[in-house]
């Protein structure tokens, strides 16, 4: 694999014309990509392929997975994941040019272009434990492709991988190619930038699509084929083409920069609490500078999700492997601040509740790592939703947790919490409620963990009336009207803002 400067669209067009579309075997061919397979029917594979199928009616898209139950769900009325607008798109295309199948081998054999969209969790063993991504699933797909391809294929790594992973995939494929002259492969990098909760709109109107590949004639031709798929709906100027390594690194850097913004404002939130500054005012005033911008400056109980921590750790490991200690320490700080923020929030709850949660009931509103997603997947070594961490700390203090989340299924929450706190403790101390009012009944405190819109609309006077007194509310998303809550009678604690107490109860006056 060669590297080089980013390719311009003209070079790509020329490559495409010169090679008469993709002809990986060097012969003239006017074959175009008509069949795509995506290996991995998860949060990325499912929505991405649903959107490709909806925008490219001339292309047949098959999503395969080794998990047959997941495939059954994709073929049913109840999809395995929740994303706004996903249901409609899948139901419109399924059976037309979108298929879900557990027959990985047949789908790979028939497709001209293969997306690898399998999970790449943080390693929990051996070299790089707790830092490096585990590429065993990516490697196993590469081996399956090598075994059953049967002809030329463009293999596209969509999973988030460390820099040079494409080289490992290519090594496996080229070994098969040497033994079978009918095979030929090009490996491209096409990282996915969608965000859970807005996956469909992100895919339909991406800020950019990034495609990296070999800077050879055949590499450029393969890039051009993938460009032509996206061009069905993405304006050409939003499709960026680069060399393979730039593309792989960009995905890690993009997530690290986003996570860094969150850790930065969360670090500021602690300064605000100690000084009387208000993090909302600071974020707004700083974010109006067009060089800084307002996005990702919302203080909170910390970032979660399947990607941020994993990808920053991936970058840390890369820096360490390259002997770049200072760079590794810098990015590790982003993760450290996130863990500290979760611990800080849990400590605030314990501290404000007279340093003991024993026998106290706490209503936890929200379990998902952010609104509009039910994803709280636990991958060993990477606990994703901050709720899992905060709950763990509170359970250790003997609290009884009554958790309500509008989307996350009860068995999912119990499984996640059992992973970190043990099933015996969870069975004794955790109750999942299907209504916020039931969760808050007789509770000493409400803790807001996810910024679900519906939490803004609740009848807090009704909630307050059913709670033990004094009733506290800990707003981990800095999302509610604190003055209103104080008027009702709540003791309100949040992140990066002054704690608010009801006047009549304040012995020392408002502080």
Q: Residue ranges for the binding site for NAD(+)?
A: 40-45, 65, 70, 118-122, 159-160, 196, 307-310, 377
Is 56:229 a contact under the CB 8 Å cutoff? Answer: yes
Q: Which of 16, 24, 37, 43 is in the footprint of ligand NAD by CB under 6 A?
A: 43
228-267: which residues touch ligand NAD (CB under 6 A)? none
Q: From 251, 233, 242, 137, select the one nearest 191 (Cα to Cα).
A: 251
Does 162 bind ligand NAD (CB under 6 A)? Our answer is no
**Choices 12-20, 133-141, 337-345, 421-429; region in contact with ligand NAD by CB under 6 A:** 133-141
Give the DSSP letter string of 416-436.
HHHHHH-HHHHHHHEEE-SSH
Q: What are phi and psi of 242, to 5 degrees?
A: -145, 180
Structure tokens at 503: 């006047």
Positive/negative CA dihedral, 158, 162, 165, 167:
positive
Q: Which of 29, 67, 101, 216 is in the footprint of ligand NAD by CB under 6 A?
A: 67
Smallest gap from Cβ 409 to ligand NAD, in A, equals: 16
Smallest gap from Cβ 131 to ligand NAD, in A, equals: 15
CB of 51 or CB of 471, closer to ligand NAD: 51
Identify each DSSP E strand in 204-319 by its residue range: 209-213, 239-243
Q: Which of 33, 166, 239, 307 is in the footprint of ligand NAD by CB under 6 A?
A: 307
Q: Which of 119, 247, 429, 472 is in the footprint of ligand NAD by CB under 6 A?
A: 119
Does 219 bind ligand NAD (CB under 6 A)? Our answer is no
Collapse the DSSP code of 317 into the 3-class scheme (helix H, G, I; strand E, B; otherwise coil) and give the result: helix
Rounded-to-integer distance, Cα 241 and Cα 189, Å: 10
Q: Which of 13, 66, 204, 254 is in the footprint of ligand NAD by CB under 6 A?
A: 66
**Choices 63-71, 162-170, 259-267, 348-356; region in contact with ligand NAD by CB under 6 A:** 63-71
Q: How many CB atoms lie within 10 A of CB 484?
A: 12
Q: What are phi and psi of 434, to 5 degrees?
A: -105, 25
Collapse the DSSP code of 364 into the 3-class scheme (helix H, G, I; strand E, B; otherwise coil) and give the result: strand
CB of 158 or CB of 477, closer to ligand NAD: 158
CB of 104 or CB of 473, closer to ligand NAD: 104
Collapse the DSSP code of 5 into the 3-class scheme (helix H, G, I; strand E, B; otherwise coil) and give the result: coil
Q: Which of 9, 140, 339, 419 is in the footprint of ligand NAD by CB under 6 A?
A: 140
Does 369 bind ligand NAD (CB under 6 A)? Our answer is no
Smallest gap from Cβ 481 to ligand NAD, in A, equals: 31
Q: How many CB atoms lie within 10 A of CB 82?
A: 17
Q: Which of 7, 62, 120, 429 is in the footprint of ligand NAD by CB under 6 A?
A: 120
Q: Please give the C-alpha separations between residue 347 and each of 86, 251, 389, 428, in angstroms, as whole numbers.
A: 39, 34, 12, 22
CB of 118 or CB of 430, closer to ligand NAD: 118
Smallest gap from Cβ 124 to ligand NAD, in A, equals: 15
Task: Please give the residue whose beta carbon sits closest to ligand NAD in the complex.
Answer: 42
DSSP tally for the chain: helices H, then strands E: 19, 14
**Choices 2-10, 43-51, 170-178, 223-231; region in contact with ligand NAD by CB under 6 A:** 43-51
Give the DSSP letter string of 234-249.
S-GGGEEEEEHHHHHH
Q: Which of 39, 200, 282, 299 is in the footprint of ligand NAD by CB under 6 A?
A: 39
Smallest gap from Cβ 212 to ligand NAD, in A, equals: 15
CB of 307 or CB of 446, closer to ligand NAD: 307
Rounded-to-integer distance, Cα 492 and Cα 451, Å: 16
Active site residue 307: yes
Rounded-to-integer distance, Cα 365 and Cα 447, Å: 6
CB of 54 or CB of 373, closer to ligand NAD: 373
CB of 104 or CB of 447, closer to ligand NAD: 104
Catalytic residue among 307, 319, 402, 433: 307
Does 398 bind ligand NAD (CB under 6 A)? Our answer is no
Collapse the DSSP code of 282 into the 3-class scheme (helix H, G, I; strand E, B; otherwise coil) and give the result: helix
Structure tokens at 2: 């060669």
Quote the radius of gyration of the chain (alpha carbons, Å).
25
Smallest gap from Cβ 45 to ligand NAD, in A, equals: 6
Binding mask 176-215 for ligand NAD (x = CB under 6 A): ----------------x-x-x-------------------
Binding mask 434-473 for ligand NAD (x = CB under 6 A): ----------------------------------------
Rounded-to-integer distance, Cα 358 and Cα 397, Å: 6
CB of 41 or CB of 183, closer to ligand NAD: 41
Helix (H) or strand (E) holding 391: helix 386-396
Q: What are phi and psi of 269, to 5 degrees?
A: -60, -35
Give the DSSP letter string of 100-158.
EES-HHHHHHH-SEEEE----PBP-SSTTTTTSB--HHHHHHHHHHHHH--S-EEEEE-
**Site for ligand NAD, rule CB under 6 A:** 39-45, 65-67, 70, 104, 117-120, 137, 140-141, 159-160, 192, 194, 196, 306-307
Catalytic residues: 307
């Amino acid at each position: 694999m060669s590297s080089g400067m980013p390719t311009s669209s003209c070079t790509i067009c020329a490559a495409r014309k010169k090679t008469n579309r993709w002809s990986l075997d060097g012969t003239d061919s006017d074959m175009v990509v008509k069949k795509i397979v995506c290996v991995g029917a998860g949060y990325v594979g499912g929505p991405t392929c649903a959107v490709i199928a909806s925008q490219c009616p001339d292309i047949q898209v098959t999503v395969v997975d080794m998990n047959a139950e997941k495939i059954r769900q994709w073929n049913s009325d109840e999809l395995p994941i929740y994303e706004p607008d996903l249901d409609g798109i899948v139901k419109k295309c399924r059976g037309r040019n979108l298929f879900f199948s557990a027959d990985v081998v047949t789908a790979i054999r028939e497709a001209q272009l293969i997306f690898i969209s399998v999970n790449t969790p943080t390693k929990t063993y051996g070299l790089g434990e707790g830092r490096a991504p585990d590429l065993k699933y990516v490697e196993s797909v590469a081996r399956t492709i090598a075994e059953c391809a049967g002809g030329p294929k463009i293999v596209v790594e969509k999973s988030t991988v460390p820099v040079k992973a494409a080289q490992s995939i290519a090594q496996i494929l080229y070994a098969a190619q040497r033994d079978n002259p009918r095979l030929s492969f090009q490996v491209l990098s096409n990282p996915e930038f969608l965000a859970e909760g807005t996956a469909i709109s992100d895919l339909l109107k991406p800020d950019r699509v990034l495609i990296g590949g070999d800077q050879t004639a055949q590499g450029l031709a393969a890039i051009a084929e993938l460009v032509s798929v996206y061009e069905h709906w993405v304006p050409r100027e939003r499709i960026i083409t680069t060399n393979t390594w730039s593309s792989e690194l960009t995905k890690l850097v993009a997530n690290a920069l986003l996570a860094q913004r969150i850790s930065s404002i969360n670090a500021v939130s602690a300064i605000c609490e100690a000084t009387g500054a208000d993090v909302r005012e600071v974020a707004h005033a700083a974010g109006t500078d067009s060089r800084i911008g307002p996005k990702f400056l919302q203080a909170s109980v910390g970032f979660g999700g399947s990607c941020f921590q994993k990808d920053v750790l991936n970058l840390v490991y890369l820096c360490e492997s390259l002997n770049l200690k200072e760079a590794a320490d810098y990015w590790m700080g982003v993760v450290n601040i996130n863990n500290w923020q979760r611990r800080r929030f849990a400590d605030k709850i314990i501290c404000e509740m007279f340093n003991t949660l024993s026998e106290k009931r706490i209503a936890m509103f929200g379990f998902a790592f952010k609104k509009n997603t039910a994803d709280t997947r636990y991958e060993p070594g990477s606990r994703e939703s901050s709720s899992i961490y905060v709950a763990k700390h509170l359970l250790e203090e003997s609290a009884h947790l009554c958790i309500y989340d509008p989307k996350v299924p009860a068995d999912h929450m119990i499984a996640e919490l059992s992973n970190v706190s043990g099933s015996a403790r969870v069975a004794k101390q955790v109750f999942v409620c299907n209504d916020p009012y039931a969760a808050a009944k007789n509770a000493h405190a409400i803790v807001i963990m996810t910024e679900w819109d519906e939490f803004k609309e609740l009848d807090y006077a009704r909630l307050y009336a059913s709670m033990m007194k004094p009733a506290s509310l800990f707003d981990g998303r800095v999302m509610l009207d604190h003055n209103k809550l104080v008027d009702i009678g709540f003791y309100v604690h949040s992140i990066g803002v002054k704690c608010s107490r009801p006047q009549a109860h304040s012995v020392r006056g408002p502080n």
